[in-house]
Amino acid sequence: MLKKSLCPRCRYKIEIESSKELSRCRFCGLIFITSTILDFENLKSSSQPKDGEVIYIKDKDFIYFLIPKRGFHWVDSYTLILMSFMTIFVLSISISSLQGFLISIPFLLMLSIVWRDTIFEAIKEEKIILKSNRLILKEESFILKKSYTIPYDKIRDIIVARIIFKGILLQYKLKMDTPQHHPLIFWGIEDNRFGSYLSLEEMEWLVREIKFNIFKKAL
């Protein structure tokens, strides 16, 4: 049975034989596993879950998803208190002598990065902007801004992944060895996480909407 889809490399509209294990794009020659291709006919827009956090704006030139800041959790407080004690300890060593000061510099830099990243994760806003041929993922706060521009032809998949944290001191102390879910964009050899604090239902809705609109634009 022939089905409409898009080539994962060149994004041209193609027809694939669903019963075959492998398919080949007649435009760029790419050979791919048929079952891994997202079928455009099965992608449908859906309603946002009730009480959802994401702000969704559609315009003729772009589609915009805003994920508001999540705020501080008790885990953030635990991390910041621990970092405070470690910072005080390192500073006490650094003021004792010149040698202590020199030794403490890399530790202070490491602690400052942990401070920054912990606060950033709590107060950042995430923006996902879909344009005609690219996805832009932004993470913004007053202390740090990150931006990733991802061409559609580089995207391998967008999924909600199950991740299990084990073996880290903080996770063992807090018994956080249960699975957690994170939406992920796989592109090129990289991956980017977004919307990690949303409910599972809203994560799945957001991933479906992004996929649907990307394929709609590509067609």
Q: What is the average pLDDT score of the chain?
A: 78
168 versus 126: which is more confidently predicted?
126
pTM to 2 decimals? 0.67
Q: Partners of 150 in the beta sheet?
A: 135
Q: Which amino acid type is present at position 114? A: V
pLDDT of 174 above 50: no
pLDDT at residue 181, as a whole number: 83
Q: State pLDDT tens for residues 9-61.
A: 666 677 777 777 777 877 777 777 776 665 555 555 667 777 778 888 877 77
Domain boundaries, the chain: 1-42, 46-69+127-137+154-218, 74-120
CA distance 13 to 2: 13
In this prediction, residues 106-119 reach a mean pLDDT of 86
Percent of the chain with pLDDT over 70: 79
Q: Hey, which bits of 45-178 come out as E strands? A: 55-58, 63-67, 125-130, 134-140, 145-151, 155-164
Instruction: Name, in order, each residue with C-beta under 8 angstroms of 159's C-beta and a sequence gap of 6 or more.
Output: 183, 184, 186, 207
pLDDT at residue 176, as a whole number: 46
Q: State pLDDT tens for residues 72-94.
A: 877 778 888 888 888 888 888 77
Q: In what order do the strands lie in the sheet with 190-193?
A: 155-164, 179-187, 190-193
CA distance 103 to 136: 41
pLDDT of 162 above 70: yes
| DSSP state at residue 115 | H
What b/e sequence results for 171-181 when a residue is b if at least 16 CB atoms lie within 10 Å of its CB, and e otherwise?
eeeeeeeeeeb
Instruction: Name, in order, each residue with C-beta under 8 angstroms of 184's C-beta and a sequence gap of 6 or more.
Output: 158, 159, 160, 161, 191, 192, 193, 194
In this prediction, residues 160-172 reach a mean pLDDT of 57
- Counts of helices then strands in the chain (DSSP H, E): 4, 12
Q: How far is CA 89 from the centre of its chain?
A: 35
pLDDT at residue 36, as a whole number: 60
